[in-house]
Structure 1
Amino acid sequence: MIEEVRRVSAMQDHALRVKAAVDLMTELQAAVIETSRMRKESIAWLRKNGHSMADVAKLMGVSRARVAQLRDAGPPPERAFLGAQYVQVAVPTRPGEREYVAVEDSSTGQRMLALAQSLQLDGELQYIPVSGEIDLNRDDLVVVCGPKSSDAVAAVFGQDPRLAFETLPDGRWALVERESGKVYASPSDDPQNATPTDVAYLGRLPRPDGQGTFLLIAGVHAVGSLGVAHYMSENLAYLYEEAGTSPFSMVVACDYTPEGKSVTASRSASGVLLHEAA
Structure 2
Amino acid sequence: MNPFDAPATVLDWFARIGTLIALGSWLTHVTRTRLRNRAVRRFFGGTEISLVLPLRTLQGRTAVAEPDYLAARTLETFLATRGIRCETRFVGPEEPLSLGPGGHLLICGPKSSADVAERMSRDPRLRFTHRADGWRIVTRDTGLSYRSRNDSTGEDSDIGYLSRTREAAVGGDRTVVTIAGVHAQGSAIVAAQLAGVRPIRGLLRRARGSGFSAVIGGSYAEHTLRVLDTAELGFFRHPDR
Same fold per superposition (TM over 0.5): yes
CA contact (8 A) 1:160 1:205 kept: no
1:138 CA displacement: 3.6
1:268 aligned onto 2:232: yes
Task: Give me the whole-angstrom Cα distance separating, in 1, the residues matched to 2:67 and 2:208.
Answer: 27
Of residues 123, 143, 148 in structure 2, which corresponds to 1:186? 148
Counterpart position of 2:192:
230
Q: Aligned runs of 1:245-256 on 2, under 5 Å? A: 246-256=210-220
How far off is 1:153 after superposition?
1.0
Q: CA deviation at 1:240?
A: 2.4
Q: 1:208 to 1:166 in 2, by over 3 A?
A: farther
Distance across 1 between alignment mates of 2:188 and 2:33: 31
Q: So what's the TM-score if we normalise by structure 2? A: 0.78
8 A Cα contact 1:136 1:208, kept in partner: no
> 1:104 corresponds to which letter in structure 2?
P
CA distance change for structure 1 residues 159 and 260 in 2, over 3 Å: closer, same or farther? same
Percent of aligned pairs with the same amino acid:
26
Question: Unpaired segments of 5 or more residues in structure 2?
Answer: 1-23
Aligned residues of 1:176 and 1:184 also touching (Cα < 8 A): yes
Listed one character per residue, the Cα deviations across residues 20-52 of structure 1 (whole Å, up to 9, x for unaligned) are xxxxxxxxxxxxxxxxxxxxxxxxxxxxxxxxx
* Match 1:219 to one of 167, 176, 181: 181
Q: Where in structure 1 are there 5+ consecutive unaligned residues? A: 1-64
Provide the aligned length of Structure 1 versus Structure 2. 208
Q: Are residues 1:126 and 2:89 paired?
A: yes
Partner of 1:111: 74
- 2:112 is matched with which residue: 149, 153, 173? 149
**What SS class does the counterpart of residue 212 from structure 1 fall into?**
strand
Deviation at 1:171, TM superposition (A): 4.0
Q: Is the 8 A contact 2:179 2:187 kept in 1?
A: yes
Q: Larger relative contact order (C-alpha < 8 A, sep ≥ 6)?
A: 2
Of residues 201, 205, 208, the one that matches 1:241 is 205
Task: Report whether the alignment pairs 1:93 with 2:55.
Answer: yes
Query: For 1:123, what is the secondary structure of its paired residue?
Result: strand
Structure 1 segments of 4+ aligned residues over 6 angstroms from their partners: none
CA distance in 1, matches of 2:114, 2:93: 11
Match of 1:226, as an amino acid? Answer: A
Indicate whether 1:78 and 2:39 are aligned: yes
Contact 2:181-2:187 within 8 A present in 1 as well: yes
Matched, 1:197 2:160: no
Classify 1:123/1:75 alpha carbon distance in 2 versus 1 (closer, same or farther; 3 Å): farther
Cα distance in structure 1, aligned partners of 2:121 and 2:168: 12
Aligned CA-pair RMSD: 2.2
Which structure has the larger Rg over C-alpha atoms? Answer: 2
Report the equivalent of 2:5. none
Distance (Å, rounded) in 2 between the aligned partners of 1:72 and 1:258: 37
Q: Secondary structure at the match of 2:161?
A: strand
